[in-house]
Amino acid sequence: MATEKRYPFWLGGASASIAAFFTHPLDLTKTRMQTASSKQGMLPLLVNTFKTEGYRGWYVGLSASLLRQMTYSVTRFGAYDKFKQMARSPGDDPKKPMPAWKMALCASAAGAAGGLAGNPADIILVRMTSDVNKPPSEQYKYRNALQGVARMTREEGVGSLFRGLGPNTVRAILMNASQLTTYDFFKNTLLSSGFFQEGTLLHFSASFMAGTVATTVCSPADVIKSRVMNASGTGQGILGTLTKSLRKEGPAFLFRGWTPAWMRLSPNTIIVFVVLEKLRLVVDWTRERKPTAPSSPSSSSGGIQTRS
């Protein structure tokens, strides 16, 4: 029976980092909308950022975004693959799709691990991208992600690295369960329909649908997470932030920034999975290559030496 292919643990994080270069301006806009008191629209905010800060303004906090992908995404993608391998019963056909509930459990557990691993970088990302929403005297003014982590640890204590861990972990669980699980589900469903075959069109379609589902499911937790992480000092906590925001803005605030979140997460999901599938092809290609070594003149068999 064929064995399930295994890929490097870091592959998902690498594809997510590549996607971050393309979607960071939308991530920045989404976070600024979530943490601002005004209700400026997505496009006006995106244009205003360019006018006031130049094209560099669109990439404020990029170092934090990359650090986040190489902690959060490396962990969640790698753990998801590992958990799926562990969840298969002995004798299961690796080519047969895993039940959706098993995929969801694996994705949720991997998401929790990713949320924990990426929490410090997530805080720095929120603070760097939304610094402009604060009065000058209250701005953090981090130069880069590593300097931000060092300053936050020194000025606010080690415990500050885990501020907002609750909503961030909830969001990570929801993200993984709604993004990774639905990608696998939509991919298997489209393949079984007979209208798709393995390739870029299949990966694009499945990831587009997965991105839309993930945006809607994760929006409430994402908004709360951003507001808690952006608070200085001890902050109000999850319950305090939720109560105050509900009282002032109503339930609709939970979906503040949904459009830029979708415009960011949808292409991000597409790029992540399409690139990931291509990286897997590269890994398969390197594994299948069998470079030949020159035969020794003294060899009687003239056989070909191969590397495993």
Domain ranges of the chain: 11-285
Confidence of residue 123 (pLDDT cuts 50, 70, 90): very high
Count of residues making up the chain: 308
Separation between Cα atoms, residue 105 and residue 121, nearest integer Å? 25
Q: What confidence tens digit (pLDDT) does each residue in 245-291 have?
A: 777 777 777 777 788 778 878 888 999 999 999 999 999 999 888 66
Q: What confidence tens digit (pLDDT) does each residue in 60-80 have?
A: 999 999 999 999 999 999 999
Q: Are 91 and 30 in contact (CB under 8 A)?
A: no
Q: What is the pTM for the complete model shown?
A: 0.76
Write down the pLDDT at residue 291: 63
C-alpha to C-alpha distances, 124 to 34, 74, 263, 269, nearest whole angstrom: 15, 18, 22, 22
Question: Into which CATH architecture does domain 11-285 fall?
Answer: Alpha/alpha barrel (1.50)
Closest CA to 11 of 288, 307, 286, 291: 286
